[in-house]
Structure 1
């Protein structure tokens, strides 16, 4: 895949018009408040994962409207002091998988919560959490158009709220320094993390790798790859609903969350990414309200910076949590 989007110098200046409904903040305030009203401390049980140097816990926490969401919580075996926590969200189609899929952050001496994504987890990593909610009308196969004719029924209302409640829940888990919590994710996980950084209280850092769920209107016109093509395919069959579709999506657009998120952030973008177009990522990054930096990978696709970038993520977390001098 060749570079196909705007030149890098234009990407760095790209600030498209934001389309935001006047009740955006009220919508999310009421959504989160309703779920906080049904919050219960998480239930966690140590499990034998075969990882003898770590402790792994099977966690069930209260997500959207108190619905039960699964997660893995992984800590060093000989944990004595409270440690910073990374709350991580998974890419599209994946679930929480197995504990051995998530060794990076605990090996860097952080405690680590990995949230299962409701109803996903059958495309690659397995999942264990149902959606609980009815489908709310016709949809294109996948998750992008589930309940899309109303923001109150849209699938990602529940997912983003689950993510906020995951941050709320980690303070009740053993070994967590509740004053040092970061959110992280790649692709869909990056989009969820960006929304969570804007919506959750007490988030101290954001790792947002090649994020999905940003600048929807440009994305669906620029690429015909999945998952964005789920939206364009739906609108092809239902052209009379196109305006309603994009009105709903405006409540879930990473660009609109970016202007509200203020914690330090590390973004990444790949200029040959035909899943999440570079301009959609730069739109969110350029609007981001907090301290930020972005790593650009000119010859990478949706895999982003790979192992090279992993090193930078660890350094970023060490810096924001003041674990070493910078």
Structure 2
């Protein structure tokens, strides 16, 4: 793969000016307030905690693992819809624990609980969150339905309901992410003041949204997030999943203005400005799925301190296991009691 994006020195200072909707903050505040209300909570933090504790179901799962405890969790997401997750905790560890809420990549679901043990092995409670409507493309499955319909769409998820922000698929997904943070803070084994969010690719974008739309997180660790600096990346790469939007526009001629207006509510580089917790990004400079300029657009517009780890000769795989070691070392400092 040849280099196709900005050179490293340009990436480090790349901070695009993006058009933000005038009602951006009101849109998200209303969306999240309505979904919390659907679970029976008013605007107060205590009411949210009490309602979520009452509406969140947990069931201990028997596994062959002796070093970890696993709970099958269902919590209320967008509009109160049930969202599934795994809570994995180190067996016998002192409580309360710092927690990592992890969002998964495009097309996969939460899978099986034993597949992602790196964070609990490092002493964290880990909530692995399903992505509604996904989980049937790769991995080992998902269980969360998306009961809300949308208009015509290209195959995939990026164009579902894309003609208006109120119907767009990721409105529901991002709200689920905020509600996952709400839910994990109600667990007795979790320190609510030491919750971080993370994810790769689509999961990285969802982690950015959770960091922008939740209060009091200790850190965000997005790697190779998609849908960042949308006006640029749509014309820069023809790789999935961004090409789904190009396919849609190729058929729905004249819809570009409406589509870009919708996406501005969900652009990771716009959401990034609302983040209040420090961030630790990762990017591969040969990544055609989540181009590095999009990653840097989000990092350089981050609301507080942000750091980017570069992998000059890697694509969407980025740093893989090597990057997790760097994440764990960084987060240990941020989440220390």
TM-score (norm 2): 0.94
The alignment yields a C-alpha RMSD, in angstroms, of 1.0
Which residue of structure 2 aligns with residue 310 of structure 1?
324
Deviations 1:210-264 (A, max 9, x none): 1112111211111101000000000000111111001000000011111110211
Output aligned runs, 1:206-245, within 5 Å. 206-245=220-259
CA contact (8 A) 2:201 2:225 kept: yes
Q: CA deviation at 1:49?
A: 2.3
Unaligned runs of 5+ in 1: none
Which residue of structure 2 aligns with residue 29 of structure 1?
29
CA contact (8 A) 2:83 2:144 kept: yes
Aligned length: 322
Which residue of structure 2 aligns with residue 7 of structure 1?
7
Which residue of structure 1 aligns with residue 270 of structure 2?
256
Which of the residues 157, 160, 164 maps onto 1:143? Answer: 157
Unaligned runs of 5+ in 2: 40-51
User: 3-state SS of the aligned residue for 1:203?
Assistant: coil
Which aligned runs of 4 or more in structure 1 are off by greater than 3 angstroms? none
Query: 1:176, 1:249 → 2: CA distance?
Result: 34
Which of the residues 131, 137, 149 maps onto 2:146? Answer: 131
Output aligned runs, 1:33-182, within 5 Å. 33-39=33-39, 40-41=52-53, 42-125=56-139, 126-134=141-149, 136-182=150-196
TM-score (norm 1): 0.97
Query: 2:23, 2:213 → 1: CA distance?
Result: 15
CA contact (8 A) 1:79 1:175 kept: no
Which residue of structure 2 aligns with residue 292 of structure 1?
306
User: 3-state SS of the aligned residue for 2:287?
Assistant: coil
Deviations 1:188-209 (A, max 9, x none): 0010000110101221100011
Which residue of structure 1 aligns with residue 17 of structure 2?
17
CA contact (8 A) 1:93 1:122 kept: yes
Deviations 1:134-177 (A, max 9, x none): 1x210001100000001000000000000000000012223101
Query: 1:193, 1:105 → 2: CA distance?
Result: 16
Which residue of structure 1 aligns with residue 282 of structure 2?
268
Which of the residues 184, 189, 212 maps onto 1:198? Answer: 212
Q: CA deviation at 1:80?
A: 3.5
